[in-house]
Structure 1
């Protein structure tokens, strides 16, 4: 069932974390952050919303990294119920797609809860002071192919944040599959 993330709570501070990537390295918020801002993306392997935008999401993330914005993806789904989101499957996806950003495993789901992550994908764009400035969508495509003239909402917002420290006041909430919480 599709759910929408809440609107941006401007200035909300990013909670720290210590999560393993798909190679077993532990990453903290400081380690994934960039000098001009940080993008934390909650994604997973099986969600049709994520899979529909994964090529664009990966390209936008890499373009943002080139602009001094740190990027990390986090999977918090219950792998017992959704085996495609297991640590092993995450590692397979990260290798197959040659992710240039860490793909982190939140097995306890404590980080997803601390961020109040709602769906996959769910984007949290922070300025250099770890203040939330973007909680919108990638673009207008949803689960569909993006039209050729699709506005690069996430990318454009993160560039504004990198330049000014402030996010755009008008944002369209992300939509996707709900986080698969453990019982």
Structure 2
């Protein structure tokens, strides 16, 4: 998130961690607007007073939920990129592989940021910068990786890779056809091979 330092975050006590775990599960499974603080408190085994003492508002719980998802995804992706083959083509494909693995384990109903944006479209909402910030960061990552393949066309190539990636995440959540992220990976590989980078075959 480009504006991480501007976000208000809270210190996590054991009770706050229970609230966050319950809220994260409920928000992802049922939707942010559909879940109230009464249900979150009940699922976390805390009182509403404790919930408000720790977070102050439901909006802050949403901030913590999305910020935590974003941080965990970035750490997961960094580990996958760190372990990938250093060739430019392999590093781009490693992003798709990471998304496929992450989605299978953490995002059966699709990208949490895309889902959240369907409910939070007001830029004044404190969680909005987290949602858009992650996608801006992903575009920056794809553009950077594309620059190692085609420096003069990095911007265009990065946007194309981003569209393949994000479209696959949406298709994964909709479950319209099987394994859309693998399909997007194949299309990305074909696109990158056409630029002349064939140093690593996947």
Identify, as 1 or 2, the structure richer in helix. Answer: 2
Choose between structure 1 and 2 for higher RCO, CA contacts under 8 A separated by at least 6 residues.
Answer: 1
Tell me the TM-score range normalised by the shorter chain: under 0.3
**Alignment TM-score, normalising by the size of structure 2:** 0.26
Identify, as 1 or 2, the structure richer in strand. Answer: 1
Considering only CA atoms, is the larger Rg found in Structure 1 or Structure 2?
A: 2
